[in-house]
Amino acid sequence: MRTAHVVFSFTSGGIEHLLIDLLNNWSSEDQLMLCIINNTFDAALIDAIHKRANVTVVCLNRPEGQGKLRYLRKLNAVLSDFRPNVVHCHSNNVLLFTLPLKLLHPRWKYVYTVHDTNIYNHLPATTVALHKLLVSRITAISKSVYGNIVSAGFPEPRTAVVYNGVDPDKFISHHGSQNGLKTIICVARLLPEKKGQDILIDALADLAKRGEHYRCLFVGAEPSEHPEYRQQLIDRAAGYGLEHVEFLGNRNDIPQLLAQSDIFVLPSRYEGFGIAIIEAMMAKIPVIASAVDGPKEIIGNDQYGLLFNVGDSFQLALAIHQIETEDTAKIVSLAYKHAIEKYSIESMIQSYKNVYQSVTDNCGISG
């Protein structure tokens, strides 16, 4: 099987780390390509992809938003030389950029992964119709995302749930905070309208009023189009007089940061999955998340962590207090086992292999 993964950019984020794990752990009998169209990429992330004979990384270096036809020709040349059975696109924008090549290469099978909730169900009907005509399979990262896709009209038999997977070997022994204060970590893009970092800051303020103080690490950068978000959150924390809130930006040492933390919090207002939750489970630290689609699917009915009502900072503060004051060994152990069994990188790879095989078998193409 020859599979080309196509993305516009490759900066620090869930999709990027997912692709790194996928490329590093895929079996050597298949040929894999990662093609990054734009000139927006983190060289350190590319370096994290193991140098293997069956893995090729290509950067087209397109200035963002420029030269569509020119770089479509370049992409065509790169993919034609690679001869993929499957072209796997990881956003609708990159899919629409790439799909004209399907007319030149009808035997290429297109797979599109929807990486968040409330994306597919907001696409124009014309886009869904184009997908129905040219895309062989759409995969969803959770059941809620699957529901969005099917409700928008894409055929259910050509839709599949493939849960994001994490490589457990990346995580080191958990030893918790070493500086006296318990450490809370939130790993998410600094996008409070979605990720809810402001809710966590408000919860820390509630706890501080009761004499409970924590160190809090926010890992993730603000979007380039909203550079003000970081300062807004810094100002919010300062306004409460919180002294131990740190904004670390994008980091490539997430396993080490998790090992030094005591509680993981993902306070999202909406979330299609939440791969950072899986990472925290594999790092064996207790998890708290808002009760939205993806986290609820992972955590269940408080089986593998604690859920709080979306936007409710007081309830989040209570959950943090509960984690801090109760014995969490059992729930952490159950969460680790759950993550290993259901969300390992091996499970994800096998699911994608099944998807690729099903779309190529349907046209008589072998790997």
Q: What is the mean pLDDT of residues 319-337?
A: 94
Q: Which CATH superfamily is domain 2-165+344-361 in?
A: Glycogen Phosphorylase B; (3.40.50.2000)
| pLDDT exceeds cutoff 70 at 188 | yes
| pLDDT exceeds cutoff 70 at 367 | no
Rounded CA-CA distance 26/28 in Å is: 6
| pLDDT exceeds cutoff 80 at 226 | yes
pLDDT number for residue 363: 53
Is there a contact between 249 and 206 (Cβ–Cβ < 8 Å)? no
| pLDDT exceeds cutoff 80 at 366 | no
Q: What is the mean pLDDT of residues 314-340?
A: 94
pLDDT number for residue 217: 97
Q: How confident is the model at residue 364 (pLDDT cuts 50, 70, 90)?
A: very low
What are the tens digits of pLDDT across the range 81-131? 999 999 999 999 999 999 999 999 999 999 999 998 889 999 999 999 999
Q: Which two tokens stand for residue 254?
A: 């997430």
pLDDT number for residue 57: 96
| pLDDT exceeds cutoff 80 at 297 | yes
pLDDT number for residue 365: 36
List the domain boundaries for the chain: 2-165+344-361, 168-342
Alpha helices in the chain (DSSP H): 14-25, 43-47, 68-82, 92-98, 100-104, 125-134, 143-151, 192-195, 197-209, 228-239, 254-259, 275-282, 293-299, 313-325, 329-342, 345-361
Rounded CA-CA distance 188/200 in Å is: 12
Q: What is the mean pLDDT of residues 310-314?
A: 96
- The whole-chain average pLDDT of the chain stands at 92
Q: What is the mean pLDDT of residues 355-360?
A: 95
Rounded CA-CA distance 72/95 in Å is: 12
Q: Which fold has domain 168-342?
A: Rossmann fold (3.40.50)
How many percent of the chain have pLDDT more than 90? 81
